Amino acid sequence: MSRILVTGAAGFLGSHLCDQLLEGGHEVIGMDNRVSGQTENLDDAFEHSAFSFYEHDVTEFIHVAGDLDAVLHLASLASPVFYRDYPIKTLKVGALGTHKTLGLAKEKDATYLFTSTSEVYGDPEVNPQPEDYRGNVDPYGPRSCYDESKRYGESLVRAYRDKHGLDVRVARIFNTYGPRMRIDDGRVIPNFMRQALTGEDLTVYGDGEQTRSFCYVSDMIDGLVALLESDIEEPVNIGNPDERTINELAEVVLDVVGSNSGITYEELPPQDPEVRRPDISKATSELGWKPEIPLREGLIDSIPYFKKQI
């Protein structure tokens, strides 16, 4: 049994990861400041005697008594709604939070996993995006607080690996969805689900021909655990390469919900990426991982959760 710290534990991905690690027989310490995380996401985890939770801001000094085998840094304000409202907090959790958690991993001689993002590729001029693509990012743009927090975090992880010999993992996460997403998250699937279930028109920004690739949460968690258990110290894309236009997504949501909602179009936010699709060749060949849940099936499985939230 390993003893593992998970930051951002009350968040969408963090809570699912805690559950899977507990089911795998590990002792899990969850940490979250609850700015965007929700403690109810951890209801299942609290049923385990091997789980403990600390409300703490990872940008402050972190003390954990005893040994740690791994530090998994998921704390982040990943939703545009939240990182636009809290740009400085977003930058601090990517910089100071990564620094504090790396220092803890170094002290404990623990494996360190950093959850980065497909946003490091910016508005890509290459599609799909492989890990060696350097991106097309505006460091002073409207999304830069999130993009640059993750780019800086990756650089800091690399520095700790090279300077201190730390055992590190970097996951570049692409769009993920499923139960435990906040209904006010602001990302496209929670927005569409809320609107379809309440009979509102679905709001599509721009002409709806921009693309995204959506990975169901259970597939994402399997990918993160596979990366943790590997020995790959370079960034790895984790996502679903099934690329869809936003118009296609809207039609699928309306169909699975059985909604009569229409679709309205509004102006595209500045610097919204036109395409987003992961090249998962590395994850497939080196982790033996690929997503299994089709978009339609994942959306159907998510409906009861979003109904409950509404």
Q: Which residues are marked as active site?
A: 146
Q: Tell me the one-letter amino acid at 184.
A: D
Strand 211-213 vs strand 243-245: parallel, antiparallel, or unpaired? antiparallel
Q: How far is it, in rounded angstroms, from Cα 148 to Cα 152?
A: 6
Paired strand residues for 215: 176
Question: ∠224-215-242 over CA atoms, to 5°?
Answer: 125
Paired strand residues for 248: none
Short-list 31, 35, 152, CA closest to 98: 152
> 18: which residues sit within 8 A by CB, 6+ positions away?
6, 9, 28, 30, 42, 45, 51
> 294: which residues sit within 8 A by CB, 6+ positions away?
242
Question: ∠238-109-118 over CA atoms, to 5°?
Answer: 20
Q: How far is it, in rounded angstroms, from Cα 47 to Cα 43?
A: 7
